[in-house]
Every structure is written in C-alpha cells, then in structure tokens.
Amino acid sequence: MTCKAYDIPKALIWEAWLHVRANQGAAGIDAETIERFETKLGANLYKLWNRMSSGSYLPPAVKAVPIPKKSGGVRILGVPTVADRVAQTAVKMWLEPQIDPIFRDDSYGYRPGKSALEAISVTRRRCWDYDWVVEFDIRGLFDNLDHDLLMRALRKHCQEPWILLYVERWLKAPMQTTEERSWNATKAHRKEVSCRRSWPICFCTMRLICG
C-alpha cells in the first residue's frame, strides 16, 4: 500500500537506470554526466521516483544540439538530462510490453527484437513471390506529427494515468541551447524538437499512428 498518487515500483526506476547507464550518452542541459549522477545514485533515483510517484515530476529543458545535414542546413538533436532519460526509459519499459503485441508481424520500426536487417531479409525473400513493390515515406514526420492525435491513440491503448501524464508533459517540455537560452523555433520546428527530446517515448507511441 502506498500513499503516493501513482504506484510506480522502485524496481522499475532501478531497471531504467541500468539501461541508461549501459547506453551512456552525453550530459544534458544541466551538464551532469552519467558518472556524476552515479556519485549520488541512491539520492538521485529516490528523488526521481518520489516526484514521479507524487505526480510532481516536471521534465527539465532539453539541450538543443545542432547536427549538420548532408543535404544542407541542420537537424536539432535533443539531449535530455540523465535523470530525465531514466524517467523516459521507465515509462518506455512499462508501456512497450502493453502496446507492442497489437502491431502486425510485418511492423519493424523501433520494435524490440526486430531490426532493419530483418526487414531487408523478408523483403528479399518476398521478391521471389512478387514482381512489384510499394515504397512510401512520411516527409518531415517529426515536423508534422500531431501531438493531439498521438495522445488520442495512446489513450485508446493505455489507461495508466501516470504514463499519460508524463508522455504529455514530455511533448510540451522546452528546449534550450547550451547558453541557457530558451529555444525559439517555429511551430513546426517546436513539434520536431519536442518529439526528438522524448526519443524513447515518441518512438514507442508513434507506432500507434504509423504502425
């Protein structure tokens, strides 16, 4: 029995931390590295669990890092803080097993245990059965992804209140440059970077729309 608003197992936060530590990654806007986070691991994980369980966790701003495109211009990469990556991973670990079974076997994008190489292998095999192929892509997916549609799809398949709460907060969280200035972008660009900032969650939930 817990007096918290949401019953989030401490073991889930711990498992999420293990995944984040294994993946490493750069520091976020707070400049806190994996190694520095780990020096106060118990306190940091407890604070995160406590805030998430009480519903008071507010995602911090994500660091906006410009990455040059081969075609010219830049793509903005969002780097969350270490603690926020743990929070996102915890949500992904809870959510993914709930929604993954609803997808078709031929759905390969961002799914656990599936890869692009597996998709290519299936495509090669089917070339012996069919003499045609249909190829399509969603141009500017992150620019055009409708957050309301994403949340509507998520609510259809997930009724867990704390999952819905934090996914929505991540979609609305701000981005900042390394100079601590708020990221000032167009409406479409804000959509793109807000999706990129919550990478585990958006990849997991947008499959509900894109299949």
8: pLDDT strictly greater than 60 = yes
- Percentages helix, strand, coil for the chain (3-state, rounded to 5) are 55, 10, 40
pTM reported for the whole predicted model? 0.81
- CA–CA separation, 211 and 207 (whole Å): 5
Tens-digit pLDDT profile for residues 38-85: 999 999 999 999 999 999 999 999 898 888 888 877 778 889 999 999
Q: Which stretch of 28-37, 44-53, 125-134 has the lowest confidence by average pLDDT?
A: 125-134
160: pLDDT strictly greater than 70 = yes
> Are the beta carbons of 5 and 53 closer than 8 angstroms?
yes
> Are the beta carbons of 34 and 20 closer than 8 angstroms?
yes
β-sheet with 62-68: strand ranges across: 74-79, 62-68, 175-176
Mean pLDDT of the chain: 83
- CA–CA separation, 24 and 48 (whole Å): 19
